[in-house]
Structure 1
């Protein structure tokens, strides 16, 4: 269960809609709040259908400004409490989670009208006792450090917003990532950055989701960054790490030597013992090869920068050798992530390790399980019965039943002769394994 908030700056921008689709594909939020849609209800509804969400409530734009929309994944997972020109208030009720309240908020842009924003928050605070979260572009700051560049932010605006949070017992969530969410004049002497987008939570909401985090997604097609709120950080059992051979090791001459020496060292032991000792040696050695790409690349780049400006023969030779080492490390990194991404249409030589990394990381996160429903319809986690539930499920799936297959198998023509069957069942000789491997 997660929430996405973004000052969209208009649905008429195709790049913005495409960017929103990419965020949703990666983060899969259950609730989305969009402000400054600059659109009517029908246009927002078209976007909803493209995104694959069922629930929607829209506050249409006034002339050529404003406009808000709240979308939720399934129709029955949320209901409207109230709304206005600057907010949409929902009660969220999803499987496995207690009922709570989410308010998408768009604060007054003009400083002279900021008191309207403050009074609206005070009024909303008294309308429900549910755990409460306000998220959106509040157009308010709490500290001088929320602004970088430009004129000093008025102290009366800081005090006014701080007093609202104190009166309503609201907590300003810490922002993970870049500290500013809005910018203007980037790359010029007038560049200004501010934190205008935020999430405010009640103490009861904080107790309900103590491990929640608010993340600045930073990259944006708007002048505002999207915010991603994950109320429940997934807790998983630490898995046992098994040995996996890395294709990137094949580019290292040492790999072949380790395999050969490990095999010869235990020449008198069983085949299984040799495999185990060989994998242990490779894993220990390979950790230095495939787990510190970032440090190795940074170190080599530092050397290149240091010798680049020199013109003596020794520096030129060192530059050439270092550059070759850097290319080799980059090739290893690409092979490492291509092996994990399993994108079969990619060809050798594609310098796109960031893409491979994203594919592999996203797949790993999606494959994780935090809780499941048992036969009684109750959600259970890893600490309250989920391991037993998984084992029982597969026990039932693979349990032998009292079926008889003779009626089917007698019509299947044999494809393996008796001689071939005896050859397949014969014991594998060590000399055969050695010949196949070496």
Structure 2
């Protein structure tokens, strides 16, 4: 399962439409969150049909802003809330996974940034389960998230940090190129910033510990798409295979175990006897082979002791001579 997020800066352009379609066909995400779609709903519906996704939620803002969430199977998503800056849904898929997914488009106006932070706090207050937020947050968490230009205002960094701490969220590391937005590429005014990210709750990490956030690094927009790959923790049960140890042949008890099992009741099948014999030998053999290391260590100590005595005797003989 995976989630693709991209600030496409205009889905209505032919190159953005084709690029996103190609990315979806290659990466096969289950959910797509788009921000700054800058188009009417009919364009999103056209794209939805092109990639064969069943579900969608679109919040258009004319030719400015606008967000959309698309998903592969209609009945796996239940809408909770949405506005121009977020789409919040509950996911329950065929595999039995249940979690809350929120696509976020952070407020671009710095003077309104506190409103966006309070929105996340509000969403957190009604959260009761595993939660993932993904999108263009329009925020950074440190000066290391920015390269070029003036330092990022510290009050914005601290404000966003406070939100993450207040909501008990974890900012996921980004695999690949560390920045997701750029301006003035190749010039002296080149600026790069990591604005796109994913935040998850502790309960989300407990259910999906094997998650990876990837910067796809190619784009027709000033933002690179990011993809969150989600995998459940897998419990591998290794079936113990019986193996006869040649070292057991030196032990008299080995032959006795085999004889006792083989002389058991005539009604017991051949395969049942083999199974019983292997189980008993395995249990008994663990004690025998398990003591090999101790035996070896003891032998080494004895050899060392004898060697020490020999050297002492040699020295005594030399002194006498």
Map 1:324-335 onto structure 2 (within 5 A): none
Map 1:217-366 onto structure 2 (within 5 A): 217-232=216-231
Could you tell me which residue of structure 1 aligns to residue 184 of structure 2?
A: 185
Structure 2 distance, partners of 1:162, 1:171, is: 10
Structure 2 distance, partners of 1:168, 1:9, is: 29
Once the two structures are superposed, what CA deviation does each residue of 1:147-179 show, in whole Å capped at 9, x if it has no partner? 000011000101100011111001000000000
Which protein, 1 or 2, shows the higher relative CO under an 8 Å CA cutoff with sep ≥ 6? 2
Could you tell me which residue of structure 2 aligns to residue 373 of structure 1?
A: none
Give the drift of 1:96.
1.6
Structure 1 distance, partners of 2:127, 2:103, is: 15
Once the two structures are superposed, what CA deviation does each residue of 1:24-64 show, in whole Å capped at 9, x if it has no partner? 11111111101100112122111100111000110012x42
Structure 1 distance, partners of 2:156, 2:96, is: 37
State TM-score, norm by structure 1: 0.53
State TM-score, norm by structure 2: 0.72
Give the drift of 1:197.
0.4
Structure 1 distance, partners of 2:66, 2:206, is: 32
Could you tell me which residue of structure 2 aligns to residue 70 of structure 1?
A: 69
Say whether residues 1:17 and 2:17 are aligned partners: yes
Map 1:12-411 onto structure 2 (within 5 A): 12-61=12-61, 63-232=62-231, 383=237
Give the drift of 1:22.
1.3
Cα pair distance change 1:155/1:45, threshold 3 Å: same
Cα pair distance change 1:41/1:141, threshold 3 Å: same
Work out which of the two has the higher radius of gyration on C-alpha atoms and give 1 or 2. Answer: 2
Structure 2 distance, partners of 1:119, 1:234, is: 33
Structure 1 distance, partners of 2:206, 2:141, is: 23
Q: How many residues align?
A: 239
Once the two structures are superposed, what CA deviation does each residue of 1:270-319 show, in whole Å capped at 9, x if it has no partner? xxxxxxxxxxxxxxxxxxxxxxxxxxxxxxxxxxxxxxxxxxxxxxxxxx
Structure 1 distance, partners of 2:158, 2:195, is: 15
Structure 2 distance, partners of 1:43, 1:383, is: 49
Say whether residues 1:6 and 2:6 are aligned partners: yes
Structure 2 distance, partners of 1:135, 1:207, is: 18
**Kept in 1: contact 2:208–2:233 (CA 8 A):** no
Structure 1: segments with no counterpart, 5+ residues = 236-380, 386-438
Could you tell me which residue of structure 2 aligns to residue 253 of structure 1?
A: none
CA RMSD of superposed structures (Å): 1.6
Structure 2 distance, partners of 1:164, 1:234, is: 28
**Larger strand share, 1 or 2:** 2
